[in-house]
Amino acid sequence: MRRPGSWAASPPGSIDPRSRQGRLQNSELPDHRAWLGLPTDLTAESEADLDDIRRLAEAAARRHA
């Protein structure tokens, strides 16, 4: 039985997502290991997120103008 306020599908920290990377062998589903191992440019990610927020705010302002 799930505890009140516990919304996680599994207990936090019980599953390492990286340990499941090789499970799609012999499957028609794509294997994303190559993508998960790529380095991440956090500055570029942040700038892209801020740009998305700016565009959303501008679109909302145009609708309510």
- Domain annotation covers residue 57: yes
- Domain annotation covers residue 52: yes
Region of 63 (left: φ > 0; alpha: ψ -120 to 50; beta: rest) is: alpha
What pLDDT digit, counting tens, does each position of 1-42 carry? 455 555 555 556 666 666 665 565 666 666 676 777 788 899
- Domain annotation covers residue 54: yes
The parent domain of residue 56 ranges over 40-64
User: What confidence score (pLDDT) does residue 42 get?
Assistant: 92
Averaged over 43-55, what is the pLDDT? 96
Total domains, the chain: 1
User: What confidence score (pLDDT) does residue 37 get?
Assistant: 77
Helix-strand-coil split of the chain, %, nearest 5: 45, 0, 55
- Domain annotation covers residue 7: no
* 33, 21 Cβ separation under 8 angstroms: yes
User: What confidence score (pLDDT) does residue 43 get?
Assistant: 94
User: What confidence score (pLDDT) does residue 58 get?
Assistant: 98
Residue recorded with tokens 């998305």: 52
- Domain annotation covers residue 21: no
Q: Cα separation of 60 and 36, whole Å?
A: 34
- Domain annotation covers residue 12: no
* 53, 60 Cβ separation under 8 angstroms: no
